[in-house]
Structure 1
Amino acid sequence: MKKYLLIPFLIILTSMVQAQPMQIGWQDLQGKVEPYQDPFAALTDDQLFNLSVYGRITEMKTLYPLYEITDAMLKEAEEAKAQLIKENINIEYMFEQRDIIMKKRQKAALITNDLLANREIQMSGYMLALEFDNGTVSEFLLVPTIGACSHKPVPPANQLIFVKAATPVHAGSPYMPIKITGTLRVTPEVKDLYLVDGKKQVRMAYSLEDAIVEQFIATH
């Protein structure tokens, strides 16, 4: 008798486990990227700064010949170049790699984790409202950090989720920390984000409709 009672119990328990949303973090949204060597990762902050100074002023001379390059700027560029040479940094090679690495980073930013497509998930982040209606928000972006898209650079597309809440949410503060639950969709698209200083186009890779939205206390 006990054996037969155990089977239905296991079936119920299994269904309860399967019904629980998958807890995920921002790193889970990133798809697999073919490994590549980034020569800039080995540079120090000072070397990166000197490379940017030399590159910026050199490009200004080439692309904007009518722009007045001051003696002070030329001196700064030469000093940066001399320091890089002294530290055995191959400037020409680094400039060649810059465009290559940039394209690889851009490609990596668009790669999604298709294993999460149409899965019931739960994750936390910060709400960036797209529209307000009497203090409530129905559509927003879930972003990984405070200030993303407005005060800070726009995160990669696979680090943004367009969310439609099941019920309007009272937005207590800008970048309110929240937890969302719902079915994640892989839906690459571009939306206009209207900010105080103008309009900005934001590319996102995921969406989530009829989301359950809960406020939570961020730990960091």
Structure 2
Amino acid sequence: MVILKPICSLFVLFCLSFSSWANEVKVTYWDELVPSMELIEDPFQKLDRNQMFDMATIARFKEAQAEDGFVASDKARQEIVDVTERLKKQDVDVEALFVARAQIMKQREALGSKPNAEVVGSKHRIPGYITPIEMDGTKVTKFFLVPSAGACIHTPPPPANQLVLIDFPEGIELVSLMTPVWVEGQLTGHQSKENVNYSDGAANVQSVYAMKADGIEQYQP
């Protein structure tokens, strides 16, 4: 029995250490909040500068055609015919490029508007900056955690999956919008829209993540 005591002690220490490791909160950075997606190859990258200019000319004409009351002149129509023919002679499929353009735009929108299912439902420790939504005296109780200082206030809001709506009823003293923090808690996929005051007005800002914070502290690398 004397021999077994050290073994039992080691086993207990191992279990405690394993439990501590298992409960350790994962440090998560903003690029990990973007869902993984196989990107469509961008065919525009194969065009030279002149071909890109011609494609932009056609794109502007198509956009103008979509406007109410637009009437194209004969000269403008002929220019588009000539540009299209020139591209065709260079083996550039104009219509196929516009189809690819629409798909790429749709994919980029999805990349910015959907949560990453791989990070939802588990605890994370995320660095960022505070954009206040609700205050209790001098304490912030509800805010957007954002990747850059002043986002949503001095600059347009980031994509919806680059904001996390944080609920922290006990509140945290707001030192400065430029002061980074660590926020820790369970990340959930939750679509929300909150009113944020800009430097020159206010706007509804959307997020696809939410977290009821377990703790917040000033950022230390």
Larger CA Rg, structure 1 vs 2: 2
Alignment of 1:184-195 (within 5 A): 184-195=187-198
- In the alignment, the residues of structure 1 paired with residue 196 and residue 137 of structure 2 have an alpha-carbon distance, to the nearest angstrom, of 19
Matched, 1:11 2:15: yes
Q: Structure 1 residue aligned with 2:116, among 113, 116, 121?
A: 113
Q: Structure 1 residue aligned with 2:30, among 26, 33, 40?
A: 26
Structure 1, unaligned stretches of length 5 or more? 68-76
Matched, 1:168 2:171: yes
Alignment of 1:44-193 (within 5 A): 55-56=59-60, 59-60=63-64, 63=67, 65=69, 92-193=95-196
- In the alignment, the residues of structure 2 paired with residue 49 and residue 128 of structure 1 have an alpha-carbon distance, to the nearest angstrom, of 40
- In the alignment, the residues of structure 2 paired with residue 128 and residue 44 of structure 1 have an alpha-carbon distance, to the nearest angstrom, of 42
SS in 1 for 2:124: strand
Which residue identity is paired with 1:140? Answer: F
CA-CA distance at 1:142 after TM superposition: 0.8
The Cα RMSD (Å) is 3.8
Kept in 2: contact 1:128–1:175 (CA 8 A)? no
CA-CA distance at 1:93 after TM superposition: 4.3
Q: How many residues align?
A: 215
SS in 2 for 1:116: coil
- Structure 1 stretch 166-175 or stretch 34-43: which is displaced more? 34-43
CA-CA distance at 1:192 after TM superposition: 2.8
Q: 1:143 to 1:179 in 2, by over 3 A?
A: same
Q: Percent identity?
A: 25
Matched, 1:197 2:200: yes
